[in-house]
Amino acid sequence: MDQKVEFNPIKKLLTREELDAYDPESESWQKQFTRRYSHHSELMGVLNNVEDVDNTVYKKFAVAITPYMAQLMDKDDPNCPIRLQYMPSHHEQTIPGFATSLDQLGEEGDTIPGTSVVHRYPRRVLFLVSNTCATLCRFCTRKRMVSQPDGSVAKDEIEASIDYIASNPQIDDVLLSGGDPLTFTDERLDYILGELRRRAPHVRFLRMGSRMVVQLPTRVTPELCAVLEKHRVQMINIHIGHPKEITPLLRQRVKMIQKAGIMMGLQTVCLKGVNDDVEVMRDLFMQTIEMGVRPYYVYSTDMVEGAAHFIVPHHRMIELYEGLRGWISGPAVPTFVVDGLGGLGKLPIIPTYVREEELPDGSGTTVKCRNYKGMTIDMPGLGHNFSLPTRSN
């Protein structure tokens, strides 16, 4: 008699009571991954005031939210900064003629044929290894591949990518991204990182970008840290959009990564209604520097389809920057950047604190300096054609 096999799929947490009682540390990260919400209707028993969006939104970009992230969402407020980042919205409907590209950064044009390597800069490359994330950001810059069945990175592409890096000794900086590399098992990561180190010993800086550390902190385990340390991953950049995402569990798991000898950086996207506020940014960057994570980049929202409602104007980004420099610790001030359309690259947004002006008599220039308080002073000694006064005998 054949033995009957019972198959019990992982149950989703569809009531507030179930979600509140859930302990993310009570089970493996893989089980938590399978509990992800994949439709806004599944969250209607967990959150109030959930927008009933049209299903056409799902045809453009899927929904995926871990129970851990759902726990951080305000139960009642639809404008909760966590909800805005991850819950689908009618704002994602395409605006004709504006922000309709799925490859606004021109990555496909810089991708080496047969690989998933984006080689834009002379000595460093972006190595896309996955098209999966733990939770899907509604402003995702890679909607062309993330969560898309035809966007997956095949094993032969990964092998060809490692071969390409190995055959180009001028490449000394490799960034693994996706999707999220940490959606791979430890064994798969061990193989990819090991092959990179074995076949491309000229790579001096090996780093990873991950939001899974924030969206599912229990992914960080002693076993994962051992793999990262074994293959000398020197830096992990995590992505935090709002201080509400910084929890005791995140702090604990970040410390595990740091104990493996890995530098940690922070990047965030400037998002309207989420973090386009000076006090929010000050709090975010001081909290991250406090836990040993160095703020690295603040990106303008990329003009990808379905994200136009998040875009913060350039002048406001300048104001936000000026609200940080001089007001919080210097190492906590990140670089604000626009990622130029069509592959122009990362372009820094820098307010004018120092400018050079012509002297009224046309004899040269002076340099006018302004500090964070608005105090100004002229420094002609830094100007063009400046000469010291002649000394008389």
Indicate which residue of 80, 133, 225, 270 is catalytic.
133
Clarify whether 140 is annotated catalytic. Answer: yes
pLDDT tens digits, one per residue of 68-101: 999 999 999 999 999 999 999 999 987 766 666 7
Q: How many CB atoms lie within 10 A of CB 27?
A: 13
Tell which phi-psi region holds residue 91, choosing left (phi > 0), alpha (psi between -120 and 50) or beta: alpha
Selecting among 346, 353, 369, 370, the annotated active-site residue is 346
DSSP-derived pairing of the beta strands 335-340 and 345-348: antiparallel
Mean pLDDT of the chain: 92
Active site residue 259: no
Q: What are the pLDDT digits (tens) for 159-215?
A: 999 999 999 999 999 999 999 999 999 999 999 999 999 999 999 999 999 999 999
- Cα 162 to Cα 119: distance, rounded to the nearest angstrom: 13
142 catalytic per annotation: yes
Catalytic residue (one of 137, 190, 211, 225): 137
Long-range contacts of the stretch 155-163 (C-beta < 8 A, 24+): 157/114, 157/115, 157/116, 158/116, 158/129, 158/192, 160/114, 160/115, 161/112, 161/115, 161/116, 161/117, 161/127, 161/129, 162/192, 162/195, 162/196, 162/199, 162/200, 163/199
Residue 339 bears catalytic tag = yes
* Verdict on whether the full-model pTM lies above 0.85: yes
The CA distance from 307 to 140, in Å, is 8
Catalytic residue among 180, 190, 276, 302: 302
Q: pLDDT tens for residues 203-254?
A: 999 999 999 999 999 999 999 999 999 999 999 999 999 999 999 999 999 9
- Mark whether 124 is an active-site residue: yes
> Going by DSSP bridges, is the β-strand pair 376-379/294-300 parallel, antiparallel, or unpaired?
unpaired
